């Protein structure tokens, strides 16, 4: 069993962040571990408050894991501030995990800022060079590149700028575009578009976290990058379709849809 580490923020409602990452790892047959960089008070409607964990404690969590347990892959989500970013980068440079996927989380679905604007350059300088893949959404890519992104051509131009900033590979997620919801993978040598299916659903809390964690899990388990992305997208599509009716806002996806229905009853084992 692959052993994966998420370095991110905690979501009290369980739909996103650390909780979504650990559910995704488990659903896809991996053992999950976590380093909490921030604690958020949030629900399906909004983020109410954020408390950053001191960088000394973030470093201690990372050291505690790497000194004792093999880490086959790392997913990084909400890190919170410049001090935390530098601490994470320092430890990852030292321990050199074989796989790092970075989801550059900046703003919650409800619009709450999760990374101060002045810390964005620190994120780029410190973590982009360590990541094998970054997975920004349209808004994050616009902020990082200064580009307006309206279509697939804009996505390709922005992805190349992100590569120039130091990313090794970029999966630019197109779900926020009005006319399409395709994702685009860019490397120094290729561009590949992954067609998307727009699902009308309120069960979208934690989709970004879950997708990047799913890619990490499938990539660590032996799929190549393109295979991992395609498999992760297919898994997440079903998770959204089977979304759990929870709360009054954006409910969570169903991470364990392959095993249980929405009522929590076990599905029949596949032959």
Cβ 120 vs Cβ 126: under 8 Å: no
Residues classed as catalytic: 173, 204, 206-209
Q: Which residues of 176-215 are buried (b: 16+ CB within 10 A; e: fewer)?
A: ebeeeebbbbbbeeeeeebebeeeeeebbbbbbbbbbbbb
DSSP string for the chain: --EEEEEEEEETTSSSHHHHHHHHHHHTT-EEEEEEEEEEEE-SS-EEEEEEPPHHHHHHHHHHHHTTS---EEEE----SHHHHHHHHHHHHHH--S-EEE----B-TTS-BSS-GGGHHHHHHHHGGG-SEE--BHHHHHHHH-----SHHHHHHHHHHHHHTT-SEEEEB-TT-SS---EEEEESS-EEEE-------S--BTHHHHHHHHHHHHHHTT--HHHHHHHHHHHHHHHHHT----SSSSPBP-TTTTTB-TTSPBPPPP-
Quote the CA–CA distance of 12 and 88 in Å, as a whole number.
22
**Radius of gyration of the chain from Cα atoms?**
17
């Amino acid at each position: 069993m692959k052993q994966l580490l998420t370095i991110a923020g905690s979501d009290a409602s369980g739909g996103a962040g650390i909780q979504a990452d650990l559910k995704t790892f488990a659903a896809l047959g991996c053992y999950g571990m976590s380093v909490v960089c921030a604690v958020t008070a949030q629900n399906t409607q909004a983020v109410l408050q954020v408390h950053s964990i001191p960088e000394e404690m973030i470093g201690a969590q990372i050291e505690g894991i790497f000194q004792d347990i093999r880490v086959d892959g790392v997913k990084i989500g909400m890190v919170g501030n410049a001090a935390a970013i530098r601490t994470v980068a320092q430890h990852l440079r030292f321990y050199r995990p074989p796989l790092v996927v970075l989801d550059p989380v900046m703003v919650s679905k409800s619009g709450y800022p999760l990374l101060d604007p002045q810390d964005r350059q620190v994120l780029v300088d410190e973590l982009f060079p360590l990541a094998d893949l970054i997975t920004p959404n349209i808004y994050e890519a616009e902020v990082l590149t200064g580009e307006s992104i309206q279509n697939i051509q804009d996505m390709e131009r922005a992805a190349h700028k992100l590569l120039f900033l130091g990313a090794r590979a970029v999966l630019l997620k197109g779900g926020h575009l009005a006319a399409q919801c395709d994702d685009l993978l860019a490397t120094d040598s290729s561009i590949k578009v992954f067609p998307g299916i727009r699902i009308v659903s309120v069960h979208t809390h934690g989709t970004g976290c879950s997708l990047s964690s799913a890619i990490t899990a499938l990539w660590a388990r032996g799929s190549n990058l393109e295979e991992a992305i395609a498999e992760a997208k297919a898994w997440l599509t079903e998770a959204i379709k089977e979304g759990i009716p929870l709360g009054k806002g954006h409910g969570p996806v169903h991470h364990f849809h392959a095993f249980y229905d929405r009522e929590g009853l076990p599905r029949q084992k596949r032959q």
